[in-house]
Amino acid sequence: MTAEGANNGRVPAGPTPAHTAPAHTAPPPRALPGGGEHRRHTLVAIVLDKPGVLNRVASLMRARNFNIDSLAVSHTDQPDVSRMTITLHGDDVAVEQATKQLYRLIDVLKVQDVTADPTVEHELALVKVRATDSNRAEILKIVELARGRVVDVSAESVIAEVTGVESEVDQFVALVRPFGIKELVRTGTVVMARGAQSIEEAIRR
Amino acid sequence: MTMTKGGTAKPPSPDANAPTDATTTAAPRRTHVPGDGTAHAQAVEQARKAMLHEVRARKRTRIGADVVCEALIRQGVDVFFGYPGGVILPLYDVLGDYPELRHVLVRHEQGGAHAADGYARVTGRVGVCMGTSGPGATNLVTGIGTALLDSVPMVAITGNVPDVLIGKDAFQEIDINGITLPMTKHNYLVRNADDLPRVFAEAFHIARTGRPGPVHIDITKDALQQETRAEHPTDEEVMAGLPGFRPNMDGHPRQLKLAAAEIARAKRPMILAGHGVLHAEAWDELKAFAERTQIPVAHTLLGVGVIDETHPLSYGYMGMHGWKHVNRAIQSADLLFAVGMRFDDRVTGNVRTYAPYARIVHVDIDPAEIGKNVAVEVPIVGDARRVLQAMLRLVDQVDPADRIEYFDQLAEWRRESEGSSWHGSGAWRDGLLSADFVVQRIGELSEHRGTYVADVGQNQMWLARYTGFREPNSHVSSGGLGTMGFSVPAAMGAALGRPDRVTWAITGDGGFQMTFQELMTLVQDRIPVKIAVFDNKKLGMIRQWQEIIYAGNYHSAHLLGPDYLKLADAFGIPAVKASTPDEVDDAIRFAQGVDGPALVWFEIAEEQNIFPMMPAGKGLSDLIEKWGGAEE
């Protein structure tokens, strides 16, 4: 939704210009919704924990042509209420359209785009890296520098656990890739607003 | 749906008492029957047997099927449309005990869904249709989709296989819940009779509240058969159970004031009214608002009937096949006050060139519709009626004299455009019968007081343009999904919903051949639908596009039809044929004089096009008004 009174760059606001013979002037083309710059958005959706709710959200995003980058679902402290963190790329108007479409789902209680809000954002990754006696120490050093920890060691591999924002995890993965990644799993981003405010409290029944 | 004996049922293995924990026993004896010998497998077998051999032990304690009937009665359902089948039979078993409920046995579930749709559109109430599992359910899907795209309140009920068979690819099992999920407002799978009262109350509430839409309830056979004492919830309990469903009915006061300021400034404003005005029953408020602000009203295809077309401020039908004068007015307007419409691509054409001088106020109950297709200056989320009531208090009475130049211009455009592509003599080229003339005569001879149900294609556009609509909810048309075959079954529901009006189904020969099996339903249930078959021996709109957009490369546009008089006769329906302009009036009068269903076979010109026409992807200013140098 555009801000109230915005003119979308077409017709000057303020006093209405005379339009008695509009066909003789060439107006600028009408702005299309969703034509803006793409950036990564993070949405938090509070939903009723009912069978199929994940399917409803995923199906809606597919049907409406929104491409989900990551989706993390979990319980909350309230019984029957789940929380989803969805990251996706799109322009602001398109993502707002996604949130409004999500609101149409009966089981969705609240959707908030927290992209511009101060948040704590984390993703956890487990990376199984090929390791040998000669390079294990080097791998452990990288894990340490990335503030990760080693959770499993075998003769031929190391499982490292790292957390951080998406780009930090990306960076770590890039650093250990030369050693050979045997397996990689990432949880997808979860976020929480900084400070005392609570997205969940607003819908507490 | 008939039922045939499925696979062979193997009796449970004799060592049923053997340990069942897979990790502690030896390998299972057979891998294709999961958990063979377990309690679960026994339950599956029992359910399978129960499904194949109907258990007739009828206990008249209250079962799930009774709850369904009670719920329908509580919701004010008087008629519904269905088709029986294996797993929904428990419901049919008790239906006879509820004489308040009239069940119309349709000939195809799609017809049942369209009938429920037609009933809902003319009454504003929730239409109900029903089918069995598997093919019964999938046949409903087109009708459910039609209702979704046009926001029609509907509850579709299907049976499903017993709970333990779900996911086992049982006979007539399909994941109908997964199929209807993206094409309903909400859907349910009920596995326990105790849930039925709540689910039905919620379903009707959701279907009719806010932006209406279809809700699908899938019920397992055992839930229909279980005994239950569950009570029907109160409205408050229903609301409390749906914390995520709180449609915003009243527009934000600040936005309303902004809209009023836009109106006060505008010199060339237009109201664009859509289906939402009819859903909200806001036609009186719309008229009062238009009169107070002296703003002409244009309407969408589904908005036909929002205002009496003879009202001085009614300007007409907009969009792809709308009136040229209306599209012209939109293209030169400085303010569009859009209410209950969604700037569909058939309305805007190319958005880049749409209404280039206009600021837009958009009123809709669904926030997702605002800013979806066009960017707007003043968004107002709310119910059309409540918003218009509030707006009436914020706007000043405008003196029509202040708009004299504007109105003169509009009137001139209108004279120009209404004169073209109109065949008042009834004759198109070579004296062949013209379709626009026929729909106009149907409108006039029914005194514009009927219900007119369109099919899809050229007939739909002729009907919307030339019938002459006076009353709200007198026009029924599949606008969003564009479902061919819609008219006859939808007219069936419309006639039952509004028996006080004559009901005309206007259909092309293509659409008619898709669903004419419902003729027998009309006869069996004595539903007095008058059917006008517009026979041009073509898929007319396909032919028109192939002529104009595909360089005359006609493929599959020509279709044979039966002798419609013999066809009607075989069904026991009185029928008459009209092939020339002078036969039209008598044919219409004949049909309207029949006490019951009747059919008129109009042999219309084969190559008549519907103009103007906005080619797909083009803008409202790029209308094609004639083709090939010939006068249309």
Per-residue pLDDT at B323 exceeds 50:
yes
Lowest mean pLDDT among A62-76, B50-64, B147-161, B444-458: B50-64
Identify residue B88 by its one-letter amino acid code: I
E strands, chain A, where? Answer: 39-48, 68-75, 81-90, 108-113, 119-130, 149-153, 157-164, 181-186, 190-193
Residue B359, chain A, CB below 8 Å: the answer is yes
Residue B166, chain A, CB below 8 Å: the answer is no
E strands, B365-412, where? Answer: 378-381
In chain A, domain spans: 39-116, 120-191
pLDDT for residue A203: 72
Q: In Å, how far are B351, B456, B556, B608 from B553, measured between CA atoms?
A: 29, 22, 10, 17
Per-residue pLDDT at B30 exceeds 60:
no
Interface test with A, best of B359, B405, B408 (most A CBs within 10 A): B359
> Could B355 and A18 be called an inter-chain contact, meaning their C-beta atoms sit closer than 8 Å?
no
Tokens 């109160």 locate to: B234
Residue bearing the bigger pLDDT, B50 or B76: B76
Per-residue pLDDT at A2 exceeds 60:
no
Q: Is the pTM of this model over 0.90?
A: no
Max Cα-Cα span within chain A: 84
Per-residue pLDDT at B563 exceeds 90:
yes
Please give the residue of chain A at the shortest CA–CA distance from B335.
A16
Please give the residue of chain B at the shortest CA–CA distance from A94.
B372
pLDDT for residue B554: 95
* Average pLDDT score, chain B: 91
Per-residue pLDDT at B11 exceeds 50:
no
> Could B353 and A93 be called an inter-chain contact, meaning their C-beta atoms sit closer than 8 Å?
no
Tokens 């053997």 locate to: B18
Residue B366, chain A, CB below 8 Å: the answer is yes
Chain A window 131-170: which residues touch B at a Cβ cutoff of 8 Å? none
**Which residues from B are below 8 Å from A107, CB to CB?**
244
What average pLDDT score do residues B76-94 get? 96
Q: Which two tokens stand for residue B87?
A: 């797993």
Which class would CATH give A39-116? alpha beta
Q: How confident is the model at residue B37 (pLDDT cuts 50, 70, 90)?
A: low
> Could A47 and B356 be called an inter-chain contact, meaning their C-beta atoms sit closer than 8 Å?
no
Alpha helices in chain A (DSSP H): 53-63, 92-104, 136-145, 166-176
**Which residues from A are below 8 Å from B366, CB to CB?**
104
Cα B50 versus chain centre, distance? 37
Interface test with B, best of A47, A48, A106 (most B CBs within 10 A): A106
pLDDT for residue B59: 55
Shortest Cα distance, chain A CAs vs residue B371, angstroms: 5
Percent of chain B with pLDDT over 70: 90
> Could A30 and B182 be called an inter-chain contact, meaning their C-beta atoms sit closer than 8 Å?
no
Calculate ∠ Cα B309-B311-B315, nearest 5°.
60
Shortest Cα distance, chain A CAs vs residue B350, angstroms: 10
Q: CA–CA separation, B471 vs B480, rounded Å?
A: 22
Tokens 């006080």 locate to: B500
pLDDT for residue B48: 52
> Could B367 and A103 be called an inter-chain contact, meaning their C-beta atoms sit closer than 8 Å?
yes
pLDDT for residue B393: 97
pLDDT for residue B250: 95
Interface test with B, best of A53, A104, A201 (most B CBs within 10 A): A104
> What single string gives the DSSP state of each residue in B1-68?
------SPPPPPPS-TTS---TTTSSPPS-SSSTTTTSHHHHHHHHHHHHHHS-------S-BHHHHH
Q: In CATH terms, is domain A120-191 a member of 3.30.360.10?
A: no
Q: CA–CA separation, B246 vs B45, rounded Å?
A: 44
Q: For the purposes of burial, counting CB atoms within 10 Å of the CB of B556, is it exposed (0-12), middle (13-18) or buried (19 or more)?
A: exposed
**Which residues from B are below 8 Å from A19, CB to CB?**
267-268, 332, 334, 357
> Could A11 and B372 be called an inter-chain contact, meaning their C-beta atoms sit closer than 8 Å?
no
pLDDT for residue B431: 87
Please give the residue of chain B at the shortest CA–CA distance from A103.
B244
**Bond from prior residue into B612 cis (ω within 30 degrees of 0):** yes
Residue A182, chain B, CB below 8 Å: the answer is no
The pLDDT tens digits for B607-618 are 999 999 998 888
Fold: same for A39-116 and A120-191: yes
The pLDDT tens digits for A184-205 are 999 999 999 999 888 887 776 5
Q: How confident is the model at residue B628 (pLDDT cuts 50, 70, 90)?
A: low
Identify residue B136 by its one-letter amino acid code: G
Per-residue pLDDT at B34 exceeds 80:
no
Cα R_g (chain A), whole angstroms: 23
Handedness of CA B12, B91, B483, B146 (dihedral sign): negative
**Which residues from B are below 8 Å from A29, CB to CB?**
352-353, 356
Which ipTM did the prediction report? 0.84
Q: CA–CA separation, A75 vs A47, rounded Å?
A: 10
Active site residues of B: 109, 171-172, 221, 541
Residue bearing the bigger pLDDT, B25 or B362: B362
Residue B583, chain A, CB below 8 Å: the answer is no
Q: Which two tokens stand for residue B627?
A: 């083709």
Chain A window 87-116: which residues touch B at a Cβ cutoff of 8 Å? 93, 96-97, 100-101, 103-109
Q: How confident is the model at residue B236 (pLDDT cuts 50, 70, 90)?
A: very high
Helix (H) / strand (E) containing B458: helix B458-466
pLDDT for residue B499: 93
pLDDT for residue B617: 82
> Could A32 and B355 be called an inter-chain contact, meaning their C-beta atoms sit closer than 8 Å?
no
Lowest mean pLDDT among A24-28, A194-198, B45-49, B185-189: B45-49
Shortest Cα distance, chain B CAs vs residue A121, angstroms: 26
> Could A30 and B352 be called an inter-chain contact, meaning their C-beta atoms sit closer than 8 Å?
yes
User: A173-179: which pairs have CB atoms within 8 A and are 24 or more residues apart?
Assistant: A173/A125, A173/A127, A175/A142, A175/A146, A176/A127, A176/A129, A176/A139, A176/A142, A179/A129, A179/A130, A179/A131, A179/A135, A179/A138, A179/A139
The pLDDT tens digits for B156-183 are 999 999 999 999 999 999 999 999 999 9
Residue bearing the bigger pLDDT, B15 or B583: B583
pLDDT for residue B420: 72
Q: How confident is the model at residue B626 (pLDDT cuts 50, 70, 90)?
A: confident
In degrees rounded to 5, what are phi and psi of residue B445?
A: -75, -15
Q: CA–CA separation, B104 vs B111, rounded Å?
A: 11
> Could B378 and A4 be called an inter-chain contact, meaning their C-beta atoms sit closer than 8 Å?
yes
Residue A67, chain B, CB below 8 Å: the answer is no
Interface test with B, best of A19, A78, A97 (most B CBs within 10 A): A19
**Which residues from A are below 8 Å from B204, CB to CB?**
none
* Average pLDDT score, chain A: 86
**How many CB atoms are closer than 10 A to CB A196?**
6
* Mutual angle of helices B324-332 and B404-419, in 10-degree steps: 150
Query: The sheet that has B154-160: what strands, in order across it?
Result: B102-105, B79-82, B127-131, B154-160, B214-220, B186-190
The closest of B136, B226, B145, B150 to B187, measured between CA atoms, is B145
pLDDT for residue A19: 44
Q: In Å, how far are B103, B161, B319, B325, B532 from B421, measured between CA atoms?
A: 44, 55, 16, 13, 22
Residue A65, chain B, CB below 8 Å: the answer is no
Per-residue pLDDT at B313 exceeds 80:
yes
pLDDT for residue A25: 57
Query: Please, are residues B317 and B340 in contact by the beta-carbon 8 Å criterion?
Result: no
Instruction: Spell out the domains of chain B, with CATH numbers in brackets.
Output: 1-53 (no CATH), 64-240 (3.40.50.970), 253-416 (3.40.50.1220), 422-603 (3.40.50.970)
Residue A24, chain B, CB below 8 Å: the answer is no
**How many CB atoms are closer than 10 A to CB B558?**
13
Residue A201, chain B, CB below 8 Å: the answer is no
> Could A22 and B332 be called an inter-chain contact, meaning their C-beta atoms sit closer than 8 Å?
yes
Residues whose CB is less than 8 angstroms from the CB of residue B386 and which lie 6 or more positions away in sequence, other chains included: B249, B250, B251, B280
Per-residue pLDDT at B18 exceeds 50:
no
Residues whose CB is less than 8 angstroms from the CB of residue A177 and which lie 6 or more positions away in sequence, other chains included: none
* DSSP 8-class letter at A28: P
Per-residue pLDDT at A54 exceeds 60:
yes
Shortest Cα distance, chain A CAs vs residue B379, angstroms: 7
Percent of chain B with pLDDT over 90: 84
Kind of pairing between the strands at B186-190 and B475-476 = unpaired
The pLDDT tens digits for B462-487 are 999 999 999 999 999 999 999 999 99
The pLDDT tens digits for A156-172 are 999 999 999 999 999 99
Q: How confident is the model at residue A34 (pLDDT cuts 50, 70, 90)?
A: confident
Q: CA–CA separation, A105 vs A60, rounded Å?
A: 9
Which among A33, A108, A109 has CB closest to B374?
A33
Q: CA–CA separation, B314 vs B273, rounded Å?
A: 10
Per-residue pLDDT at B545 exceeds 90:
yes
Which among A30, A106, A109 has CB closest to B354?
A30
What average pLDDT score do residues A109-114 get? 94
Residues whose CB is less than 8 angstroms from the CB of residue B469 and which lie 6 or more positions away in sequence, other chains included: B304, B305, B308, B309, B443, B448, B452, B475
**Which residues from A are below 8 Å from B242, CB to CB?**
106
Residues whose CB is less than 8 angstroms from the CB of residue B4 and which lie 6 or more positions away in sequence, other chains included: B171
Per-residue pLDDT at B570 exceeds 70:
yes
Residue B356, chain A, CB below 8 Å: the answer is yes
Per-residue pLDDT at B522 exceeds 70:
yes
The pLDDT tens digits for B501-516 are 999 999 999 999 999 9
* DSSP 8-class letter at B369: G
* DSSP 8-class letter at B619: B
Tell me how long chain A is.
205
pLDDT for residue B24: 38
Which among B258, B267, B372 has CB closest to A97?
B372
Chain B window 370-409: which residues touch A at a Cβ cutoff of 8 Å? 370-379, 405
Q: CA–CA separation, B492 vs B116, rounded Å?
A: 9
Which among A1, A33, A59 has CB closest to B373?
A33
How far the first Cα of chain A sits from its last, in Å, is: 29
